[in-house]
Structure 1
Amino acid sequence: MARQYSIIGCGMINPLGIGAPAVSAAVRAGICQYQETDILSKDYQPFKMALVPPECLVALTGAASRGKSCYYQRLIQLASVAIFQIHHQLDNARPLPLMLALPSEHNMAADLDGDALLLDIARECADIIDFGASRCFRLGRAGGIAAFQAGQALIESGASDTVVIGGVDSYLDLMQLSLLDQQQRLLTASGMDGFVPGEGAAFFALNHKQSQKITMGPPGFANEPGHIYSKDICLGDGLSNAIRTALTGIKQPAKTVFSSFNGEHANGKEWGIALSRNSQNIDENFNMVHPADSYGDLGAATVPTLMILAYLGLLRGHYNSPLVIWSASDFAERGAIMMAINDEPPGADCHASSNKTL
Structure 2
Amino acid sequence: MAAMKRPLYVSGAGAVTPAGLNAPQTMAAIRAGLSAFEEIMLAEPLGQTQIAAPIPTRAKLRRTEGRWLVNMASRAIREALWTGSGASEGTAILLTPPESLRKHPAYDDIAPQDFLATVIKATGLRFHAASRAIDGGAAASIGLLERALEVMEQQGVEQVLLGGVDSLVNDADLARLGQAGRLKAENNAQGLVPGEAAAFVRLTRLPEGKSPILVAIHGVGLAQEQDNVLSERYSQGDALLEALRNAVNGSGPSEPDIDFVISNSNGERYSGWEELIVRPRFYRTRREILPTAYPAMTIGDIGAAGGALALMLAADSLLNDYAPGPTAVCELASENGLRAAAVMTRMTRR
Report the CA distance between 1:40 and its aligned residue: 5.6
Residue of structure 2 equivalent to 1:25: 28
**Contact map agreement 2:86 2:159 (CA 8 A) in 1:** no
Residue of structure 1 equivalent to 2:299: 295
Residue of structure 2 equivalent to 1:106: 101
**Contact map agreement 2:219 2:344 (CA 8 A) in 1:** no
Report the CA distance between 1:39 and its aligned residue: 1.7
Unaligned runs of at least 5 residues, structure 2: none
Of 324, 328, 334, which aligns to 1:323? Answer: 328
Residue of structure 2 equivalent to 1:216: 217
Residue of structure 2 equivalent to 1:126: 124
- The alpha-carbon distance between structure 1 residues 100 and 40, as it changes in their structure 2 partners (threshold 3 A), is same
Residue of structure 1 equivalent to 2:241: 240
C-alpha distance in 2, partners of 1:85/1:30? 24
- The alpha-carbon distance between structure 1 residues 43 and 279, as it changes in their structure 2 partners (threshold 3 A), is farther
- The alpha-carbon distance between structure 1 residues 34 and 282, as it changes in their structure 2 partners (threshold 3 A), is farther
The code of the aligned residue for 2:133 comes to C
Report the CA distance between 1:43 and its aligned residue: 9.1
Residue of structure 1 equivalent to 2:317: 313
| 1:226 alignment partner, SS class | coil
**Contact map agreement 2:130 2:155 (CA 8 A) in 1:** no
C-alpha distance in 2, partners of 1:117/1:300? 14
User: Normalising by structure 2, what TM-score?
Assistant: 0.88
C-alpha distance in 1, partners of 2:296/2:286? 22
C-alpha distance in 1, partners of 2:86/2:348? 29
Report the CA distance between 1:152 and its aligned residue: 2.2
Identical amino acids, percent of aligned pairs? 27
The code of the aligned residue for 2:119 comes to I
Of 55, 79, 83, which aligns to 2:73? Answer: 79
**Contact map agreement 1:71 1:172 (CA 8 A) in 2:** no
**Contact map agreement 1:224 1:237 (CA 8 A) in 2:** yes
C-alpha distance in 2, partners of 1:25/1:58? 28
Of 48, 51, 56, which aligns to 2:51? Answer: 48
CA deviation vs aligned residue, 1:212-245 (integer Å, no higher than 9, x gap): 8223132111011111112455221101011111
CA deviation vs aligned residue, 1:226-275 (integer Å, no higher than 9, x gap): 11112455221101011111122425431110001111011111112221
- The alpha-carbon distance between structure 1 residues 313 and 128, as it changes in their structure 2 partners (threshold 3 A), is farther
Residue of structure 1 equivalent to 2:184: 187
**Contact map agreement 2:234 2:270 (CA 8 A) in 1:** no
**Contact map agreement 2:9 2:204 (CA 8 A) in 1:** yes
The code of the aligned residue for 2:320 comes to R
Residue of structure 2 equivalent to 1:268: 272
| 1:293 alignment partner, SS class | helix
C-alpha distance in 2, partners of 1:283/1:239? 20
Residue of structure 1 equivalent to 2:172: 175
Of 326, 333, 337, which aligns to 1:332? Answer: 337
**Contact map agreement 1:186 1:194 (CA 8 A) in 2:** yes
C-alpha distance in 1, partners of 2:295/2:281? 24
**Contact map agreement 1:140 1:329 (CA 8 A) in 2:** yes
Report the CA distance between 1:192 and its aligned residue: 2.4
**Contact map agreement 2:138 2:308 (CA 8 A) in 1:** no
Residue of structure 2 equivalent to 1:117: 115
**Contact map agreement 2:191 2:268 (CA 8 A) in 1:** yes
Residue of structure 2 equivalent to 1:89: 83
Report the CA distance between 1:155 and its aligned residue: 1.9
Report the CA distance between 1:84 and its aligned residue: 1.5
**Contact map agreement 1:260 1:327 (CA 8 A) in 2:** yes
Q: CA RMSD for the aligned pairs?
A: 2.3
User: Normalising by structure 1, what TM-score?
Assistant: 0.87
**Contact map agreement 1:255 1:282 (CA 8 A) in 2:** no
C-alpha distance in 2, partners of 1:325/1:58? 36
User: Which stretch of the first structure deviates more once superposed, 101-110 or 283-292?
Assistant: 101-110
The code of the aligned residue for 1:107 comes to R
C-alpha distance in 1, partners of 2:105/2:349? 51
**Contact map agreement 1:243 1:274 (CA 8 A) in 2:** no
1:39 equivalent to 2:42? Answer yes
- The alpha-carbon distance between structure 1 residues 77 and 30, as it changes in their structure 2 partners (threshold 3 A), is same
C-alpha distance in 1, partners of 2:262/2:113? 30
C-alpha distance in 1, partners of 2:93/2:49? 37
CA deviation vs aligned residue, 1:280-313 (integer Å, no higher than 9, x gap): 3684522110010001111000010110111011
Report the CA distance between 1:23 and its aligned residue: 1.1
Unaligned runs of at least 5 residues, structure 1: 60-64, 346-358
- Paired residues, what number? 335
User: Which stretch of the first structure deviates more once superposed, 316-325 or 336-345?
Assistant: 336-345
1:257 equivalent to 2:258? Answer no
Report the CA distance between 1:315 and its aligned residue: 0.9
